Amino acid sequence: MADYKDNEIILNVQHLQKAYGEHQVLKDISFEVHKGEVMTVIGPSGGGKSTMLRCINLLEDTTGGEILFHDQNILDENYNIPRYRSKVGMVFQQFELFENKNVLQNCMIGQELVLKRSKAEAKKIALENLKTVGMDPYVDAKPRQLSGGQKQRVAIARAISMNPEILLFDEPTSALDPEMVGEVLETMKKLAKTGLTMIVVTHEMTFAKEVSDQVLFMSDGYVAEQGSPDEIFNHPQSEKTQKFLANFRGPQI
Ligand SMILES: Nc1ncnc2c1ncn2[C@@H]1O[C@H](COP(=O)(O)OP(=O)(O)OP(=O)(O)O)[C@@H](O)[C@H]1O
């Protein structure tokens, strides 16, 4: 695994809080992500993992704390939000592809509209990335003609076509039939090896154990424990982590 800790810190989340009305979902979340690092976020359902990702991606307002991107607080009034959005990609559980556009168009449209790339350049980059995820034979297909695993691989190609500095994955295999989980995880492993900085919320413990540089165990709106995969999976210190891993009914770890 790469020695990611020598790299600069891209994202520094400090004491992040989020409430929906009276419901305090994120109580105190702090962590750092270095360039080239793969951080997985695990923990029981309802612990706030997806909410945390959505706060980082500014899909939700926060109610406290700081999110520093390259040392600048993105929550500051004068921060250049559109620029930040173009640097942070997200892959969703439900793919969120444009149903009326084909695979190639799905991977080109953001590049043209947001990054102002020419059609020719956007096409070239989209084709390269579709090849990376093994979806280049399907450029003309519409999303409805694809399996869930194929759709998610297109969504990943679309996300990396935007050259994000950091890519967020929100339970990318949760909506898939079991036989399609492997192809998406393999694609993500391949990306991790390219040095892409990734935060992955997942219930796939084997993946988290194999691919992470850092694992964040979230429970009840707090970071209960964070550390290397060896620390979290083989020597968990927190009782909550121990209980979660002991009760976990997912793939064998
Ligand atoms: N838009 C919302 N309005 C009100 N409450 C919400 C909203 N979104 C999430 N919540 C609540 O926030 C809590 C955390 O949800 P979240 O989806 O972030 O957890 P999670 O750890 O990702 O769970 P899972 O692993 O099941 O996806 C839950 O109690 C949920 O009901």
Cβ partners under 8 Å of residue 142, min gap 6: 99, 100, 101, 102, 103
Q: Over the stretch 144-185, which tens digit does the pLDDT of each residue have?
A: 999 999 999 999 999 999 999 999 999 999 988 888 889 999
Report the percent of the chain where pLDDT is more than 70: 97
Q: Over the stretch 61-106, which tens digit does the pLDDT of each residue have?
A: 999 999 999 999 999 888 889 889 999 999 999 889 999 999 999 9
Structure tokens at 164: 């994000």
- Phi, psi for 85 (deg, rounded to 5): -60, -35
Residue nearest ligand 1's atom 18 by CA: 48
pLDDT at 249: 52
Instruction: For residues 172 and 181, give the distance between their C-alpha atoms in angstroms, rounded to a whole number.
Output: 9
ipTM of the complex: 0.95
Answer whether 198's CB lies under 8 Å from 216's CB. Answer: no
How high is the mean pLDDT of the chain?
92
pLDDT at 252: 47
Strand partners, 168: 90, 199
Structure tokens at 88: 């942070």
Question: How far does residue 130's CA lie from ligand 1's centre (Å)?
Answer: 32
Strand partners, 20: 23
**Mutation probe of ligand 1 site: the residue of 49, 59, 205 with most atoms within 8 A of C-beta:** 49
- pTM recorded for the entire structure: 0.93
Is residue 46 within 6 Å of ligand 1 at its C-beta? yes
Instruction: For residues 178 and 1, give the distance between their C-alpha atoms in angstroms, rounded to a whole number.
Output: 28
